Structure 1
Amino acid sequence: MNDPIFKRRKTMLYQMNYWYFLVFSVIVVLISLSVLSAVIIQLYKETQQEAHYVEKKLIHISKSKTPDWHEAIEDQLYTKHPDFYIHVETPAHQSIYSTGSESITDNNRYLIHLSLFSSISFKKKFIPIYHHRFYSNGYHFDLFVRMIRIYQFIKLVAKILSICGVIGILIGLLAIYQLSRHLSLPLRNVTRRIKQVTASQDLKKSIIVPNQPQEVHDMALAFNRMMEQLDQLIDREKRFVADASHELRTPLAAIRGHVELIKRHGKGHPEVIEQSIQFMDQESRRMQRLMDQLLMITHLEKKAAEVQTIDLSVIVQTVVSDYFQTTDRPIETSIAKHVSALSNEDYIHQILISLLDNARKYTPASGSIQVAVTTDDAFAYIRVTNDGPVIPDAEKEAIFTRFYRLDKARNSGKGGSGLGLSIVKTMVDMINGKIWVEDAPTGGNVFIVQMKRAIE
Structure 2
Amino acid sequence: MKKKKEITAKKQLTRNLTGVLLLLLIIGNLLFVLLSFFSAYEYLEDRSDNMIEAIQKGSQDNLQQILDATVSSDDEDAVRVILTDGTTYYSDDAEEIFSELSRGRYLPFFSDLLSSEEGIYLYQSEKYNGGQIEVAVNSETILDITSSMVMLNIFLNVVTIVVGATLIYYVVGKWSQKLSRLANEIHLVETEDLPQVTEINEPMEMQAVTQSFNQLLIKQKAAMERESQFVTDASHELRTPIAAIRGHVNLIKRRGQEHPEVVEKSLAFIDQESKRMEVMSNQLLTLGRSQKDEATETVNLSQLVKESIEKIQTISDHVISYQIAPDVTGTFVKNDLNQILQNLLENAVKYSPDKQPIEVTLKNVDGKIKLAVIDQGIGISDDQKTKIFERFYRVDDAHSSVIEGSGIGLSIVDALVKKYQGEITVTDNQPQGTIFTIIF
Task: With the length of structure 1 as denominator, give the TM-score of the two structures.
Answer: 0.83
Task: Indicate the residue corresponding to 1:24 in structure 2.
Answer: 21
CA contact (8 A) 2:294 2:333 kept: yes
Q: Distance in 1 between matches of 2:224 and 2:175?
A: 35
CA contact (8 A) 1:403 1:417 kept: yes
RMSD: 3.3
Q: Distance in 1 between matches of 2:397 and 2:356?
A: 25
Equivalent residue runs for 1:161-172 within 5 Å: 161-172=153-164
Of 207, 231, 234, the match for 1:241: 231
Once the two structures are TM-superposed, the CA of residue 208 in structure 1 deviates from its matched residue by 3.6
Q: Distance in 1 between matches of 2:160 and 2:152?
A: 12
Task: Indicate the residue corresponding to 2:284 in structure 1.
Answer: 294
Instruction: Determine whether 1:225 maps to 2:178.
Output: no
- Gap regions ≥5 residues in structure 2: none
Alignment deviations for residues 192-218 of structure 1 (CA, whole Å, 9 cap, x no partner): 3334544x3x65654343444343333
Q: Which amino acid aligns with 2:175?
A: L
Instruction: Determine whether 1:436 maps to 2:424.
Output: yes
The farther-off stretch of 19-28 and 177-186 is 19-28
CA contact (8 A) 2:377 2:433 kept: yes
Instruction: Determine whether 1:85 maps to 2:63.
Output: no
- Gap regions ≥5 residues in structure 1: 452-456
Distance 1:131 1:306, change over 3 A: same
CA contact (8 A) 1:437 1:445 kept: no
Of 301, 305, 309, the match for 1:312: 301
Equivalent residue runs for 1:264-413 within 5 Å: 275-298=265-288, 304-365=293-354, 367-393=356-382, 395-407=384-396, 411=400, 413=402
User: May I ask how many residue pairs the two structures share in their alignment?
Assistant: 437
Task: Indicate the residue corresponding to 1:160 in structure 2.
Answer: 152
Q: Distance in 2 between matches of 1:104 and 1:393?
A: 114
Once the two structures are TM-superposed, the CA of residue 246 in structure 1 deviates from its matched residue by 1.4
Task: With the length of structure 2 as denominator, give the TM-score of the two structures.
Answer: 0.86
Equivalent residue runs for 1:108-257 within 5 Å: 108-112=103-107, 114-116=109-111, 119-123=112-116, 128-198=120-190, 200=191, 205-257=195-247
Once the two structures are TM-superposed, the CA of residue 243 in structure 1 deviates from its matched residue by 1.5
Task: Indicate the residue corresponding to 1:73 in structure 2.
Answer: 67
Once the two structures are TM-superposed, the CA of residue 230 in structure 1 deviates from its matched residue by 1.9
Alignment deviations for residues 168-214 of structure 1 (CA, whole Å, 9 cap, x no partner): 1211111110000000111022223334544x3x6565434344434
Task: Indicate the residue corresponding to 1:4 in structure 2.
Answer: 4
Alignment deviations for residues 219-278 of structure 1 (CA, whole Å, 9 cap, x no partner): 233223323322322222222222222112112222334455566666777766555444
Task: Indicate the residue corresponding to 1:104 in structure 2.
Answer: 97
Distance 1:46 1:295, change over 3 A: closer
Distance 1:281 1:96, change over 3 A: same
Q: Which amino acid aligns with 1:346?
A: N
CA contact (8 A) 1:433 1:450 kept: no
Distance 1:53 1:287, change over 3 A: closer
Identity rate, percent: 27
Q: Provide the secondary structure at the position in 1 that maps to 2:103.
A: helix
Once the two structures are TM-superposed, the CA of residue 363 in structure 1 deviates from its matched residue by 1.8
Q: Which amino acid aligns with 1:28?
A: L
CA contact (8 A) 1:85 1:98 kept: yes
Q: Provide the secondary structure at the position in 1 that maps to 2:380.
A: coil
Q: Provide the secondary structure at the position in 2 that maps to 1:183.
A: helix
CA contact (8 A) 2:238 2:277 kept: yes
Q: Distance in 1 between matches of 2:57 and 2:360?
A: 115
Q: Provide the secondary structure at the position in 1 that maps to 2:178.
A: helix
Q: Which amino acid aligns with 1:112?
A: L
Distance 1:232 1:260, change over 3 A: same
Q: Provide the secondary structure at the position in 1 that maps to 2:377.
A: coil
Once the two structures are TM-superposed, the CA of residue 99 in structure 1 deviates from its matched residue by 3.1
Q: Which amino acid aligns with 2:300?
A: D
Q: Distance in 2 between matches of 1:87 and 1:277?
A: 130
Q: Distance in 2 between matches of 1:318 and 1:196?
A: 54
Q: Distance in 2 between matches of 1:321 and 1:409?
A: 26
